[in-house]
Chains A and B, each alone.
Chain A
Amino acid sequence: MPSLPMPPWNMQPELTLLARMRQGDEEAFVELYRRHKDAIFRFAMLRTGSAARAADVTQETFLHLMTRPGQYDPGRGSLAAWLCGVARNLARRECAGREDATDPGDLADDATLAQDLVEANGPVERLLADETAEQVRAAIASIAPHYRDVLILCELSELSYAEAAQVCGIDIGTVRSRLSRARAQLADRFSRMGLMHGPGRVKEAS
């Protein structure tokens, strides 16, 4: 279920923390880090497919916040969305070589199994203890990056469409269409991996 656009909330506490951090307040930086670290790490893990690379991306993201806080414009969105955008750019740089081959057009009609794609990209790294969750993650990892980003941001990082649009630098209409295609691709991957069969009897279309 796609999340609805998030309601506006009071950004003042975070902006105060940001201002204090810019004046050299270490506690303010730590507070900001603790607020956003897990969301950034999970996003980076889903985006890079590696816990080690996700840790690097998370560290670089907060170093970016530390050294270039002036780049964040509160008028354009939340700090969480801006950090996600920074993490996305860093993750793209990390995965630049691997993602060159995954063009959305090529993958739209690609019948290759998700597992094949993951294995083609290198040794599989198990990130989650739960078997099904790990399969779902692997399926998401096999989606074209353009669609995968929107899917991760809207479905798993709980960002609004507007914030996902800000992160990806696209308009909301494009977010909606990419999310729709991402879900279709994901359903296809799930089906091929046998994940579309529920515990009970699957109701089939007549």
Chain B
Amino acid sequence: MGTSVILAPLMEKIGKLKPVGEGSLPPGSAADGRTPTDPLEDGAIRADGRLDTVGLFCPIPIIKTGARMRGMDEGQVLEVISDDRVILVDLPNWCRGAGHEYLGCFEAVSEIHLFVKKRVRKPSPHPGK
């Protein structure tokens, strides 16, 4: 697992993530309508973890993503690699429900690389619950 979270450059680069399959991205996707650029080109994005789900079909990549995220710290970024295009819909939906931040995606050699930032929980107003 990588160690660096370069949040400022990451957020800057997220604005340049390449939309995969334009027109098929879900509303609200961070990648929607941004300038196509390979975000790894200059190494600005470093995920804290990488999950390779190539060859697996949703919902298996989502299940594996959930399990992996549980072991990560708040604010850390996971890169999910998949070749199932339905993940372009399912992963942002899962993030919206679970409160994680879907950062965007790019495509390279028929594989989709998607980035998810683990939610940062607000302090509970009801301690003990």
A and B held together in a complex: no
Chain B residues within 8 Å of A, Cβ to Cβ: none
